[in-house]
Amino acid sequence: MNGSRHEQPALTADDIHVVDQKEMKKALRATLLGNFMEWFDIGVYAYLTASITAVFFPLPEPWDQLAFFATFAVTFLVRPLGGLILGPIGDKIGRRKVLAFTILMMALGTFLIGCIPSYSSWGLLAPILLILLKFVQGFSTGGEYAGAATFIAEYSSDRRRGYWGSFLDLGSYLGFAAAAGLATVVEIFLTADQMLAFGWRICFWVALPLGIAGIIMRSRIKESAAFEAQMEAESQGADSESQSIVGDLKAVIRKYWRQLLLGACLVMCSQVVGYAVTSFMPSYLTGTLGYDTIHGNALLIPVLIIVSLALPVFGMISDRVGRRPVILTGCAVGVVFSIPAFLLMMMGHVWSTLLGLMIMGVIMMFMVSIQASALPALFPTANRYAAMGIMFNVAVALFGGTTGGVITVLESVTGSDLAGAYYIMFACVVGGLGVYLMKESSGRNLIGSMPAVDREEEIDPLIESQHENEKLDLSTMPIDIVDDPRAKGEGVTS
C-alpha cells in the first residue's frame, strides 16, 4: 500500500470494536463465579485440615499432616499440565468452551470429594480417590484463571481493562473468605464427632449448585470479539498454519520467552503475597501466635472481604496512572512494611494482629489488582491463552502453592518468626524488577487485537489521532498497515 499515512489511514470506523456493556457484564459474572469457585475449593480444603486429616489420614504425627499437605500440593503440581493442554485448545476452539469445561470439572471434583467414604470404611482406596479428585481439580484450575483473564481482557475496552480485570481476583478472594466463613459456621454449630461424620462434607457439596449456576451462565455468553477477529483472519489465510498442541507450546516459548519470564516475576510477587495471607496465615495465627482455629479463621475474614472489595478501586487507578506505577508502588510498600506487619501480629493483641493482617492485605491489593489486565497484554491474541496457561500456572506451582512450605522451612533454618516477611520482601524485589522491564499496557490495544472502546462517540477522535496516538500499536493489528513508523511491540521494552 502506497501513499501518505493521512491520505490512507490504517484504521476505519468499522475496525474499532464497541463493547456491548450488557454482554460485558454477563461475561464478567460468568468468569467471576469460576474464580470464586476455584478459591472456594482451595479454601475449604485448607480450613478443614483437622477433619480431612482425621477422616483420610489416620496416621501418627507428623505423617498425618505430611500426607494432608502432600495431597493439597497435588492441585498445584497438576495446574501446569492443565494450563499446557487447555491453553492451546482455548486458542484453537475458543475461550468460552474451555471455560465451560473448567467450571464443570471444578464443581464435580469438589462435590465428589465430599462423597468419598472415610479411611475406616474403604481403607487405602479412600485417600487414593481423594488424590485423584485433587488431580481433577488441579487440571481444571490450570485452565481457569488463565482463560478467565484472557477472556475478560479481550472483552473489555482498552481504557477500562484494569477495572474490569480486577473483578476476577475480587471473586477469587471472596471465594476464599466464603470458604473460611462456611467452615467457621459449620464448626461452631456441630460437635467434633458430627464434623467427622458429615459436617466437613457439607462444605464440599456446596460446590455442585455453584457449578451448575456457572455452567448455565457460561453457556449464555458470547465469544470475545478479539478471538472471533483472529479466527476470521486465519480463515482468510492471514495466519492459517495449524500445529499440534506440543508444536504450539514450543512456538510460544520460542517467540515469547522474555514475556513469559517477566510475567512470571509479576505472578511470583502477587502469588507469594496472596498465598502468604490466604494459605500461610491460618497456620501462622494458630501454630505460632496461639489463636484457636475458629478465632484464627475469623480474623482473616474481614481482611479478605476488605481486600476483595478494594481491588476494583486499584484496577481503576491503574487505568488512569498505568499498571507499572501501581505494581511498583506495591513492591515498595511490601519491602518497607512487611516486617512491621509481622511485628504487629507478634504483639499478640487482636487489634495489632488485625492491623498487621490489613497491612499485608494492602500490599496484596497493589499486586493482585492489576495482574488480570497486565499479564494478557504481554501476548498476541493468537497465542494469548496458551502463553497465559504456561506462565501463570508454572509460576503459581513453583511460588504460590509452595509459599507456606518455603516460609516454614525458612523459619526452621533461620529460627526467626520474621522469615515470612523476608520472603515477601524478596518476592517484591523480583516482581518490581520484572514490572520495571515491562512495557506499559494501560489504555493500549491488546497485541494482535483491534482497538476496543466503550461508546461509539469515542470512535471518531480515535480515528483522527491514530497516527499520533502512542497508545495505538497499529503494527500488531490484523489489518493492512500503512507505513507506520513505530517499531512493532511485543509487550516488552527494548
For position 302, which CATH number holds? 1.20.1250.20
- CB 171 within 8 Å of CB 35: yes
Assess if residue 262 is contained within a domain. Answer: yes
In a 10 Å sphere around its CB, with 0-12 CB exposed, 13-18 middle and 19+ buried, how is residue 156 labelled? buried
pLDDT of residue 3: 41
**CA 37 remoteness from chain centre:** 12
Share of the chain above pLDDT 70, in %: 93
pLDDT of residue 480: 56
**Of 271, 464, 469, 456, which Cα lies nearest the Cα of 375?**
271
The band of 186, judged by pLDDT with boundaries at 50, 70 and 90, is very high
Length of the chain counted residue by residue: 494
Assess if residue 395 is contained within a domain. Answer: yes
The band of 241, judged by pLDDT with boundaries at 50, 70 and 90, is low
pLDDT of residue 484: 45
The number of beta carbons lying within 10 Å of the beta carbon of residue 442 is 23
How confident is the model over 402-429, as pLDDT tens digits?
888 888 888 888 988 899 999 999 999 9
The band of 479, judged by pLDDT with boundaries at 50, 70 and 90, is low
pLDDT of residue 488: 44
The number of beta carbons lying within 10 Å of the beta carbon of residue 190 is 16
Name which residue leads in pLDDT, 333 or 471: 333
| Residue range 426-437: mean pLDDT, rounded | 95
- CB 178 within 8 Å of CB 40: yes
pLDDT of residue 69: 78
pLDDT of residue 1: 40
Look at residue 244 and tell me whether its pLDDT is greater than 50: yes
The span from the first CA to the last CA of the chain, in angstroms, equals 28
- CB 143 within 8 Å of CB 90: yes
Distance CA 377, CA 372 (A): 9
The number of beta carbons lying within 10 Å of the beta carbon of residue 225 is 18
List the beta bridge partners of residue 452: 17
The band of 486, judged by pLDDT with boundaries at 50, 70 and 90, is very low
Assess if residue 135 is contained within a domain. Answer: yes
Distance CA 40, CA 174 (A): 8
Does an H or E element contain 462, and which? helix 459-464
The band of 450, judged by pLDDT with boundaries at 50, 70 and 90, is confident
Look at residue 28 and tell me whether its pLDDT is greater than 50: yes
Ranked by mean pLDDT, which of 197-211, 271-285, 461-475 comes out on top?
197-211
Per-residue H/E/C for 63-76: HHHHHHHHHHHHHH
pLDDT of residue 483: 45
Cell match 487482636: residue?
350
Share of the chain above pLDDT 90, in %: 59
Distances (CA, A) of 191 to 124, 176, 194: 26, 23, 5
- CB 248 within 8 Å of CB 375: no
For residue 416, what are the contacts with CB-CB under 8 A and spacing of at least 6? 410, 422
Distance CA 342, CA 360 (A): 9
How confident is the model over 67-121, as pLDDT tens digits?
887 888 888 889 999 999 999 999 999 999 999 999 999 999 999 999 999 999 9
The band of 262, judged by pLDDT with boundaries at 50, 70 and 90, is very high
Overall domain count for the chain: 1
The band of 449, judged by pLDDT with boundaries at 50, 70 and 90, is confident
Q: What is the DSSP letter of 478?
A: S
How confident is the model over 141-151, as pLDDT tens digits?
999 999 999 99
Look at residue 162 and tell me whether its pLDDT is greater than 90: yes
The DSSP annotation for 387-421 comes to: HHHHHHHHHIIIIITTHHHHHHHHHHHH--TTHHH
The band of 299, judged by pLDDT with boundaries at 50, 70 and 90, is confident
Cell (9 digits) for 353: 494482629
In this structure, of 120-124, 287-291, 351-355, the range with the lowest mean pLDDT score is 287-291
Distance CA 58, CA 5 (A): 74
Cell (9 digits) for 83: 494450563
pLDDT of residue 60: 86
pLDDT of residue 464: 86
Q: What is the DSSP letter of 307?
A: H
State whether residue 18 is helix, strand or coil.
strand
pLDDT of residue 487: 41
Residue 270 belongs to domain spanning: 14-230+243-436
Assess if residue 457 is contained within a domain. Answer: no
Assess if residue 325 is contained within a domain. Answer: yes
Cis omega (within 30 of 0) on the bond before 478?
no
Assess if residue 479 is contained within a domain. Answer: no
The band of 491, judged by pLDDT with boundaries at 50, 70 and 90, is very low
- CB 214 within 8 Å of CB 103: yes
The band of 39, judged by pLDDT with boundaries at 50, 70 and 90, is confident
Distance CA 389, CA 149 (A): 10
How confident is the model over 345-360, as pLDDT tens digits?
999 888 999 999 999 9
Look at residue 157 and tell me whether its pLDDT is greater than 80: yes
Output the average pLDDT for the chain.
87
Look at residue 165 and tell me whether its pLDDT is greater than 50: yes
The band of 494, judged by pLDDT with boundaries at 50, 70 and 90, is very low
pLDDT of residue 237: 61
pLDDT of residue 312: 95
pLDDT of residue 243: 67
pLDDT of residue 8: 43
Name which residue leads in pLDDT, 17 or 483: 17
Distance CA 72, CA 67 (A): 9
pLDDT of residue 5: 42
Distances (CA, A) of 456 to 17, 424, 466: 9, 45, 16
Assess if residue 236 is contained within a domain. Answer: no
E-state strands within 343-490: 452-453
Q: What is the largest CA-CA distance in the chain?
A: 81
Assess if residue 473 is contained within a domain. Answer: no
pLDDT of residue 83: 92
